[in-house]
Copies of this chain bind each other. A is one copy, B any other.
Amino acid sequence: MKTRVIKYFAGLQDRICSKLEEIDRSSRFLKEDWSLDGGAGGGATRVIEHGGIFEKAGVNFSAVTTQLSEMLAVRLKVQPQSAFATGISLVLHPESPMIPTVHMNLRYFELANGDAWFGGGADLTPYYLFNEDAHHFHNVLREMCNLHNPLWYPQFKKWCDEYFFLKHRNEARGVGGIFFDYERENPEQFFAFVQDAGNAFLEAYAPIVEKRRNEPWGEREKGWQKIRRGRYVEFNLVYDRGTLFGLETGGRTESILISLPPEARWTYNYEPEAGSREAALLEVLQKPREWA
C-alpha cells in the first residue's frame, strides 16, 4: 500500500502543478527537493510567487519517518512509536481578492504497530463571496463522495465546518469543503476514495479561477484580502494539526509554512460597514451554510 500511495501522491503533484502553470499563464513552479538527516525521508516543494494569477502557490509532497510526539501519541491513543507519513498538501493564494484561496491535503499514516489510515480534505476561502462558486466547489466534492458512499459528503462537510473554525473569532475560515481523518477501516476502499478526491481537485477549483480572473478590484478589496489573510495565518498557526505536527516533529519549516499568505494585515477591531460585500462574507462565515 505504502509504495502505491507514495507513487499516487507524487504523480498527483506533477499533474496539479502542470495544470496550475497553464492557469497562471506567466509563471513556472520553482522546484526544490529536500531530504531530512539520517535517511528519515524527504519531499518535493513547488512554489510560485508573484505569478500571473497566483501571488503565492505552494504544492508540497513529502514522505517521512518520524517519532510520534507524546501529545500526538496521547491523541491517537497509542504508545509512542515511530510513524511513517506521506502526503500532498497545497495552498493557493491568488493575487486577485475576487478569486478564493484554496487548500487541499491528502495524507497517509502508518504506525510501527501496523495501524494505518488516510486523512485529508479540501476547503475554499473566499474574500468576496460568489454563491455560485461555493455551490460549484461543493457540488464537485459531493458528486465525488457519492461515488463511494452517500453518507460521506454530509459527514465530511460537517467535519470540515467544525475543523476549519476559529474559536477565538467565532467564525469559519471560509465556506468549507470536506475533511476526514483517522479513516482506519478498509484502507483499500479509502485509497480509491483518496485518489478520486485528488483527481477532483482541479475540477472543483479551476473553473472558479477562470470565472473570476477578469473581475475588477482595487485598493479597498486588496486591503480586505490582507485582513482576511491575517485570519488564515491565525488558523494555521494556532489550530492546524498538520502545521503544528510538522513544526513539532522537526519538519522542513519553509515547506510547512508555505501555506502562509504572501502578506497579512492586523487592524485593531476592524469591522466592515453594514450592508457591504465584506459584511456579507462575515455573515456566512459566522453561520455555515449548505452549499450542495
| Chain A, range 234-292, C-beta contacts under 8 Å to B | 234, 237-238, 244, 247, 253-254, 256-258, 260-269
Asked if B267 and A230 sit within 8 Å, CB to CB, the answer is no
Asked if A247 and B47 sit within 8 Å, CB to CB, the answer is no
Q: A167-B247, A238-B238, A258-B268 are in contact. List 20 more A-B contacts (CB 8 A).
A: A30-B268, A49-B267, A56-B266, A58-B268, A168-B253, A168-B256, A233-B233, A233-B264, A234-B237, A237-B237, A237-B238, A238-B244, A254-B269, A260-B266, A261-B266, A262-B265, A263-B265, A263-B266, A264-B264, A264-B265
- Confirm or deny: A226 has a beta carbon within 8 angstroms of a beta carbon on chain B: yes
Within 8 Å CB of A267, what residues of B?
A: 49, 262
For chain A, the bracket of interface size reads: 20 to 34
Chain B: minimal CB distance from A66 (Å): 14
Per-position binary interface string of chain A over residues 13-48, scored 1 when its CB falls under 8 Å from any chain B CB and 0 otherwise = 000000000000000001010000000000000010
Bound: A171/B240 CA distance, A? 22
Asked if B254 and A268 sit within 8 Å, CB to CB, the answer is yes
- Confirm or deny: A148 has a beta carbon within 8 angstroms of a beta carbon on chain B: no
Chain B: minimal CB distance from A226 (Å): 7
- Confirm or deny: A184 has a beta carbon within 8 angstroms of a beta carbon on chain B: no
Chain B: minimal CB distance from A257 (Å): 7
- Confirm or deny: A169 has a beta carbon within 8 angstroms of a beta carbon on chain B: yes
Asked if A260 and B230 sit within 8 Å, CB to CB, the answer is yes
**Contact status of A238 and B247, CB under 8 A, knowing A226-B263, A257-B266:** yes
Within 8 Å CB of A257, what residues of B?
A: 234, 266
Within 8 Å CB of A262, what residues of B?
A: 265-267
Question: Which chain B residue shows the least CB distance to A236?
Answer: B237
Chain B: minimal CB distance from A214 (Å): 27
Within 8 Å CB of A237, what residues of B?
A: 233-234, 237-238
